[in-house]
């Protein structure tokens, strides 16, 4: 083993040992501090991400079942007064003192027309999920054979037969 690899192995082992000591010294673990160093112990000795066992429900004398205590992992329900008075949350970097907010623009009223071939598909054929190419690859002589080779069979003609794939006019492309 080369000296560099030996040093790396020793440092790795030291890191694992340090992590183990940290885990033991963390809240809920055993004290593993150096001689005489007393660590302050928080009142809550559970890990923040671990589920803590719920306290047993107090026994009732009337025979009715008591409601279970709230789980420590679920947040308490918010009161309506708190949520109604809370304003929007704004990040500090978004606050711009002295700058007035702009007026919102009106919603567009004009219709925006999108060309039929915007995605490269000819939607005159097949279903909305099928993409018959608007233009076939160079060198394609038989478009119906190309479509059949790519899994398109008995395509419905739902619009104009722009590519002349329905030779008999029965609204089914490439069925000859």
Mean pLDDT for back-to-back runs of 10 residues, the chain (176 residues): 82 80 64 51 50 50 55 54 66 73 84 79 88 91 92 89 90 86
User: Tokens 């890191």 appear where?
Assistant: 15
CB-CB contact of 96 with 90 (8 Å):
no
pLDDT confidence of residue 8: 82
Beta bridge partners of 155: 173
C-alpha span between 118 and 114 (Å, rounded): 7
pLDDT of residue 153: 84
Q: Give the pLDDT confidence score for residue 99 in this predicted structure.
A: 79
Confidence (pLDDT) at 31:
47
Under a CB-based contact definition with an 8 Å cutoff, are residues 26 and 47 in contact?
Answer: yes
The predicted pLDDT at position 110 comes to 85
């Amino acid at each position: 083993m080369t000296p560099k690899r030996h040093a790396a192995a020793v440092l790795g082992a030291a890191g694992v040992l340090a992590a183990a000591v940290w885990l033991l010294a963390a809240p809920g673990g055993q004290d593993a501090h150096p001689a005489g160093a007393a660590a302050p112990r928080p009142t809550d000795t559970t890990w923040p991400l671990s589920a803590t066992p719920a306290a047993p429900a107090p026994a009732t004398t009337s025979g009715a079942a008591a409601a279970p205590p709230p789980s420590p992992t679920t947040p308490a329900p918010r009161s309506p007064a708190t949520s109604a008075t809370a304003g929007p949350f704004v990040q500090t970097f978004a606050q711009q003192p002295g700058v007035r907010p702009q007026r919102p623009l009106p919603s567009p009223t004009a219709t925006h027309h999108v060309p039929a071939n915007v995605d490269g598909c000819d939607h005159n054929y097949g279903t909305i999920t099928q993409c018959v190419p608007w233009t076939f690859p160079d060198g394609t002589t038989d478009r119906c054979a190309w479509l059949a080779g790519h899994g398109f069979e008995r395509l419905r003609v739902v619009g104009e037969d722009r590519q002349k794939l329905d030779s008999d006019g029965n609204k089914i492309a490439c069925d000859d």
